[in-house]
Amino acid sequence: MIARAAEVFGGDPVEGGGAGAEKVRELHAKIGELTVERDFFIGG
């Protein structure tokens, strides 16, 4: 627990970061897509 406590509180994970980083990129892309759609429909 102590060795990996930083992961619980938002620190950089020691291992397995590749899959997490890819998921973050995927979610950022989706956020951008939805923002563009929202702006188009609302007119912002």
Q: What is the pLDDT of residue 23?
A: 92
- Give me the number of domains the chain comprises: 1
Structural domain contains residue 24: yes
What pLDDT score does 43 carry? 83
Q: Looking at the domain assignment, is residue 6 inside a domain?
A: no
Task: Residue 11: name the closest of 3, 23, 28 by CA.
Answer: 3
What local confidence, expressed as pLDDT, does residue 12 receive? 59
Q: What is the pLDDT of residue 36?
A: 95
> What is the number of residues in the chain?
44
Q: Is residue 31 part of a domain?
A: yes
Residue with tokens 């759609």: 37
37 in a domain, yes or no? yes
- Please report, in tens digits, the pLDDT of each residue of the chain (44 residues total): 677 777 777 765 555 567 788 999 999 999 999 999 999 999 86
Say if 42 falls within a structural domain: yes
Domain that holds residue 33: 16-44
Nearest Cα neighbor of 14 from 23, 22, 4, 24 is: 4
Contacts of 40 (CB under 8 A, 6+ apart): none
Its pTM stands at: 0.54
Domain annotation covers residue 3: no
